[in-house]
Structure 1
Amino acid sequence: MAEARRFFAPRAWVAGAWARDVLLASDGGGSWSEVRTGCEAPTDAEVLPGAVLPGLVNGHSHAFQRAIAGLAERGTAGHDDFWSWRERMYAVALRITPPQLEAIAAFLYAELLQAGYTHVCEFHYLHNDADGRPYADPLEMSLALVRAAQRAGIGLTLLPALYMRSGFAASGLSEHQRRFASTPESVLGIAQALRRQASPLLAAGIALHSLRAVDDGALRETAAAARQAGMPVHMHVAEQQAEVDDCLARHWQRPIEWLLANAPVDSHWNLVHATRSTEAELEGVRDAGAGIVLCPTTEANLGDGVFDLGGWLALQGRCCIGSDSHVTRDWCEELRLLEYTQRVVLRRRNVAGHAAGQESSAGVLFGAALAGGSGAAGLRLGGFAVGERADFCLPDPQALALAGVPPEHLLDALVFSSPRTPMARVCVAGRDVPLAPPREGFLAAMRSLW
């Protein structure tokens, strides 16, 4: 049980805008029990030294890929794209051990907390040992991630991923994918075991790796079981043009088009990337109530393309952000790049703001990421409101990027002004968390892997 606490902030981001003189009270269960604006500081409340923001959900993470951040940036002869990057990623996926995964994830999760993420959705497909055999305990790798999150103090939604074949026309996995092998029964078993341990900081859902990696019957079977259990469902979809072309050749439909017509897509679903989507497909996703998880720095790093953010916001679609391969672990940079790619393509400014009919693009982007995070995580993580989890982050009031910035422009400066503003304090479920990543284990794992 968390300790009931009371905080008083000179400014806090409440209901999509900055509010002054805000009382934030958390209960013993780690949720907000009282949120009041425009009040005097109670004598029993801790006065915070600056403006506070709700913590954000990182909606898409492959923690083991933190081990290749910065190490897959040298081109080789010939064409270099997502598919060549994937071959480099396999080098770590085939060797990493459970203790190494725990050490790398604990370091990563502390980095995410430093940046103001307070919850992470882990899209997890490293299920088997290095030879591709199931571990004696099917949760071996999953529990390494759970322990890492507990060490860091971050909230975790673990999404065991169904991964069955290497492509639409394949009958099974490639040798490089042997650790990913899974069945509907195996991934549902992991999720159900973790749900028995559920807490304010731990939830579970299901991931379907992609249409190319899951056959139609298994997709429907797994999705139906997840729907019955009320679990979030995540799926990579329409990330690469090659995936779209292969899906057209196989099904005579585009990936999102096929998914909407053949799968039980609803408000529990979260489509990751959706980079190659049409206006009609986005309307269908919106009508189904599903969300989209955008990973701007990874999508740029891999050359995926640019999502139609303006169109999605105009449809009032639900979205959140993720850091995916973790070339960046900072939500400010994700939101900045998300807006800047739109500006480059459309040659206009404040694309998000205009699409949503608001002045501040930073406010629109942050608000969208905050609102969409709860659906991705399967928990109440919607910010400063009674019943939501008691998370907040305090940007360093002395940060150089914020010097001289009027208070009402603080969020604009956080997103669009460099250098990065560190978080001076982060609270998760009513508890302060350490902001120093555990370096020793991470460095030992990196030395062994590389």
Structure 2
Amino acid sequence: MIESYAARLHAERALLPEGWAEHVTIAIAEDGTIADVSVGGDGAGAEKVAGPLVPAMPNLHSHAFQRAMAGLAEVASGGADSFWSWRDTMYRIVGAIGPDDVEAIAAKLFVELLKGGFGSIAEFHYLHHAPGGAFYADRGELARRILAASSRAGIGMTLLPVFYAHADFGGVPPNAGQARFVHGVDDYLRLVGSLERDVADAGARLGVAIHSLRAATPDEMDAVLADRTGKGPIHIHIAEQPREVESCLAWSGRRPVEFLFDRFAVDADWCLVHATHIDAVECAAIATSGAIAGLCPATEANLGDGLFPATDYRDRGGAFGIGTDSHVATTVAEELRTLEYGQRLRDLQRNRLADGPGRSVGRSLFDAATAGGARALGRPGAAIAPGLPADLVVLDGANPFIATSRGDAVLDRWMFALGDRAVRDVMVGGAWQIREGRHARDEEIDRAFAGVLERLASI
């Protein structure tokens, strides 16, 4: 019965799993899931949304604190600047922020991501300890600050506490800049266990992450995976830079993805973040395993990491999603556009990631990234369909680009003409978080974030 629904929405146009439909009414249950979707009719009694309705995008890779350093590593050193020189700037920021700062930065980021069309996020959380490496009295202090920030912003959260123990392959001891990240296996597993209740109370999801093959020995990975396999998604950075590949070859005689697949049972629960520098055999292995390739195109471009072989990977049926990683970009459109443009620049051709002749690039990218992202976050899906979370984006129907577009051209206009200017309203779990481009807590969140940036400017 209509009275039993928490809300009803009516969209003149909506992107359903089977394609675009007109005059769509969506009933939302008390638990924030979609109870019913009907096509046709005038939606009497339902709230009329102000533009085309699409699923909100899951964001599969985030280091929230790094949003505070966006733009601070863009001064040339006079040497060969790379990820490794960028990391030195990151370590300086890490040494200067405390719990209040972490929460303030994350809350601002999560609001920005909502405004960019994301509805949920996987936080690859490796900033665990106090400056110098001492445990906080509450060892999960900073993880709980991330949960608090996600609740303030209203974004869906998959928390991925990160196991990080070493500086390089073969168990090299961590350096001083990594002191805030490091755990032994037993302490790490206690941390994860201690977060289960908080995550559940926040309506979030819990998975695990291993920072990289550089940062954990195979035996340590065995211990983490033995405890956590089957309990949520498993994420790992891998093959992000050529130096990582060279070091892995020197240590093991195998490339990173090759080593991972030889040593561990990689399956659909895994998300391999970046996987930029892979050969054809490794590309096929990821695609056939069911694992998700976690692509972060704007960050990978910013760091000069390289280009993921997305066209070959898609030809093999590989699944992928997108993340904003270091948050030099915070919008769905910029990540998907950068992914496509990288392939165009490499191949000197256009429309590289369309699903086939006559298919829209924007729609092909959007469908793949929503499906892959939802799996990487351990969520049941990201679509406008009964039983799934009511995570929805209203594109601005008053914008001439959107108003005059039909079908998949709406997504192409969003991705390639408008960016975040197309996003009007965002609903997460049945609750509006962004209305007409604004969040109810914008002012307080902005003030706290500005205070952090002002202090960091002096370091």
Q: Same fold (TM over 0.5)?
A: yes
Cα 1:214–1:204, aligned 2, differ >3 Å: closer, same or farther?
same
Conservation of the 8 A alpha-carbon contact between 2:50 and 2:395: no
**2:362 aligned partner, one-letter code:** A
Residues 206-245 of structure 1 aligned to structure 2 (within 5 Å): 206-229=208-231, 231-245=232-246
1:64 aligned partner: 65
SS at match of 2:61: strand
- Post-superposition shift, 1:88? 0.6
1:449 maps onto 2:449 in alignment = no
2:115 aligned partner: 114
2:275 aligned partner: 274
1:315 aligned partner: 316
Conservation of the 8 A alpha-carbon contact between 1:194 and 1:203: no
Cα 1:317–1:153, aligned 2, differ >3 Å: closer, same or farther?
same
Q: Distance in 2 between matches of 1:179 and 1:17?
A: 47
- Post-superposition shift, 1:357? 5.5
Q: Distance in 1 between matches of 2:408 and 2:454?
A: 46
Q: Distance in 2 between matches of 1:110 and 1:300?
A: 23
Conservation of the 8 A alpha-carbon contact between 2:52 and 2:396: no
Cα 1:390–1:199, aligned 2, differ >3 Å: closer, same or farther?
farther
- Post-superposition shift, 1:186? 3.1
Deviates more, 1:53-62 or 1:422-431: 422-431
1:373 maps onto 2:362 in alignment = no
* Backbone CA RMSD of aligned residues: 1.7
Deviates more, 1:338-347 or 1:310-319: 310-319
Q: Distance in 1 between matches of 2:289 and 2:202?
A: 28
Cα 1:348–1:87, aligned 2, differ >3 Å: closer, same or farther?
same
**2:98 aligned partner, one-letter code:** T
Q: From 202, 205, 226, give the equivalent of 1:203.
A: 205
**2:350 aligned partner, one-letter code:** R
Conservation of the 8 A alpha-carbon contact between 1:156 and 1:203: yes
SS at match of 1:388: coil
2:6 aligned partner: 4
SS at match of 2:167: coil
- Post-superposition shift, 1:405? 3.3
TM-score normalized with structure 2 length? 0.94
SS at match of 2:53: coil
Residues 7-406 of structure 1 aligned to structure 2 (within 5 Å): 7-15=9-17, 17-37=19-39, 39-197=40-198, 198=200, 201-229=203-231, 231-354=232-355, 356=356, 359-399=359-399, 401-402=401-402, 404-406=404-406
2:428 aligned partner: 428
- Post-superposition shift, 1:421? 2.0
**2:221 aligned partner, one-letter code:** L
Q: Distance in 1 between matches of 2:413 and 2:24?
A: 21
- Post-superposition shift, 1:252? 0.5
Deviations 1:389-435 (A, max 9, x none): 11101112223543643454111100011464242111100011143
1:414 aligned partner: 414
Conservation of the 8 A alpha-carbon contact between 2:288 and 2:317: no
SS at match of 1:53: strand
Conservation of the 8 A alpha-carbon contact between 1:187 and 1:206: no
Q: Distance in 2 between matches of 1:187 and 1:52?
A: 41
**2:316 aligned partner, one-letter code:** L
SS at match of 2:133: coil
Q: Distance in 2 between matches of 1:79 and 1:348?
A: 29
Q: Distance in 2 between matches of 1:99 and 1:75?
A: 31
- Post-superposition shift, 1:182? 1.3
Cα 1:167–1:195, aligned 2, differ >3 Å: closer, same or farther?
same
Conservation of the 8 A alpha-carbon contact between 1:208 and 1:235: yes
Cα 1:299–1:67, aligned 2, differ >3 Å: closer, same or farther?
same
Q: Distance in 1 between matches of 2:358 and 2:251?
A: 42
Deviates more, 1:191-200 or 1:177-186: 191-200
- Post-superposition shift, 1:46? 1.3
Cα 1:192–1:379, aligned 2, differ >3 Å: closer, same or farther?
farther
Conservation of the 8 A alpha-carbon contact between 2:343 and 2:352: yes
Q: Distance in 2 between matches of 1:410 and 1:429?
A: 24
- Post-superposition shift, 1:289? 1.4
- Post-superposition shift, 1:193? 3.0
Identical pairs, percent: 38
Deviates more, 1:339-348 or 1:282-291: 282-291
- Post-superposition shift, 1:3? 6.7
TM-score normalized with structure 1 length? 0.95
SS at match of 1:180: coil
SS at match of 2:44: coil
Conservation of the 8 A alpha-carbon contact between 1:31 and 1:386: yes
Conservation of the 8 A alpha-carbon contact between 1:184 and 1:221: yes
Cα 1:297–1:42, aligned 2, differ >3 Å: closer, same or farther?
same
Which 5+ residue runs of structure 1 have no aligned equivalent? none
- Post-superposition shift, 1:134? 0.9
Q: Distance in 2 between matches of 1:169 and 1:222?
A: 17
Q: Distance in 2 between matches of 1:171 and 1:328?
A: 33
